[in-house]
Amino acid sequence: MKIHRGFTLLEVLIALAVAAVGLAGVSKVAGSNIYNAQYLQNKTIAQWVAMNRLTELRVRKEFPPIGKTKGDMEMAGRKWYWQQESKTTPFAMAAIKQSLREVEISVYTSDDSKASAIVSISTFLAKPE
C-alpha cells in the first residue's frame, strides 16, 4: 500500500491567503515610502526656491514695497511659483518701521490661487544704504 504525502487543498488555500495578506502589507509600505520620498523632495526644492528669492532681494539690495508680488522660477526641471508678501514690521518706533520690512515668501507647485503653499519662509530686510 502506497501512502501519498502532500498538501491538501485546504492547506494550499490557507498558505495562499497568508501570502496575499503579507504581500498586501509590503505593497502598502512601499507605496507610502514612495509618496514620502516625493513629498520630501518637493518640500526641499520649494525651500530652495524660497531661499533663492530672498537671496535675490538681498543681492540686488532691493527694499520691497508693501504688498504682494508673484513670480515663477525654474528649478530641478520644474516650474515653481512663488508669492512674496511685504509688510511693515510690528515695531513701535517709526524710524525702525520705515527702514525694515517683514518679507514672507510662499512657494507653490501650481499657479492656482486656491492651492496651499508647500513652504513659507519669513525674514526681515533692512533698507539698503
Domains of the chain: 9-126 (3.30.1300.30)
Alpha helices in the chain (DSSP H): 9-59, 94-99
More confident residue, 97 or 88: 88
Q: What is the mean pLDDT of residues 72-100?
A: 84
Highest mean predicted confidence (pLDDT) among 8-17, 31-40, 70-79, 106-115:
70-79
**Distance between CA atoms of 21 and 92, rounded to whole angstroms?**
64
What's the confidence (pLDDT) of residue 96? 66
Closest CA to 76 of 102, 100, 43: 43
pLDDT digits (tens, 9 = 90+) for 41-73: 999 999 999 999 999 999 998 888 999 999 999
Q: What is the pTM of this model?
A: 0.73
